[in-house]
Chain A
């Protein structure tokens, strides 16, 4: 178990550019979540996948944001035409789905810090 891995750890880009982040979950975990965290706040839910299916998206996820999880393994989060307000830490988490109400914890990666110039 190598934990949840995110790449890159830091990304600095100019406003208007596109960026893509990658998340590799714990291998046996079939659920994968993306969160956004700004300074002094808790993680805010963006979207989640059950295997390769994207089952829920937050209203925070504008049409400039897209996430994929091909083959139910790693996931990517892309932000198009970045804006200043996109500057944040983007966290990925995975968990095992053992059925309804299974009470499993989420396991987090170290995040990708995005800075928009």
Chain B
């Protein structure tokens, strides 16, 4: 089947710290992988995506690399800001499939 597992939160970091949020997946075939971000009271916004093995998605200083051998898509940022405080969701879309599968989300709080 298809599923996504994210690291448990919440995560609290000081401003300018390094961020890693782990995501591993189980999928049939070759899925596309996504990271979404959700700010309080809002819907999910696409942060970045990768569509095949070894692809690196990047946006706003965030990066994630599609690792087929470890079935992982970990999110990283070298220096977080207070404005990065939000909930982050890892998701997959199976190749040729119709649904998206989301992880449970990881809450990030960045303190000044």
Scan residues 25-49 of chain A and give those whose CB is less than 8 A from a CB of chain B.
33, 40-45, 48
| A103-B104 Cα distance, complex, nearest whole Å | 21
Q: Tell me if A110 and B104 are in contact (CB < 8 A).
A: no
Chain B nearest CB from A48 CB (Å) reads 6
- Provided the pairs A43-B44, A105-B46 are in contact, do residues A56 and B51 lie with their beta carbons within 8 angstroms? no
Residues of B within 8 A of A105 (CB): 34, 46, 49
- Taking a contact as CB atoms closer than 8 A, the residue among B41, B43, B98 that contacts A108 in the complex is B43
Q: Tell me if A108 and B105 are in contact (CB < 8 A).
A: no
| A53-B105 Cα distance, complex, nearest whole Å | 31
The secondary structure that dominates the A interface is loop
Q: Tell me if A45 and B51 are in contact (CB < 8 A).
A: no
Closest to A100 in B: B96
Interface status of A17 (Cβ within 8 A of chain B): no
Q: Tell me if A101 and B42 are in contact (CB < 8 A).
A: no
Chain B nearest CB from A82 CB (Å) reads 22
Q: Tell me if A48 and B99 are in contact (CB < 8 A).
A: yes
Chain B nearest CB from A59 CB (Å) reads 13
Interface status of B45 (Cβ within 8 A of chain A): yes
Number of interface residues of A (CB under 8 A): 24
Interface status of A114 (Cβ within 8 A of chain B): no
Residues of A within 8 A of B45 (CB): 108
Closest to B32 in A: A103
Closest to A97 in B: B98
| A6-B104 Cα distance, complex, nearest whole Å | 23
Interface status of B18 (Cβ within 8 A of chain A): no
Interface status of A67 (Cβ within 8 A of chain B): no
Q: Tell me if B99 and A45 are in contact (CB < 8 A).
A: yes
- A-contact bits for B26-61, CB 8 A (1 contact / 0 none): 000000101010000111111001010000000000
Chain A nearest CB from B40 CB (Å) reads 11
CB-defined A-B contacts under 8 Å, sample of 23: A33-B100, A41-B105, A42-B4, A42-B91, A43-B44, A45-B99, A48-B98, A48-B99, A55-B98, A56-B98, A100-B95, A100-B96, A101-B95, A101-B96, A103-B32, A103-B51, A103-B93, A105-B49, A106-B100, A108-B45, A109-B43, A110-B41, A111-B43
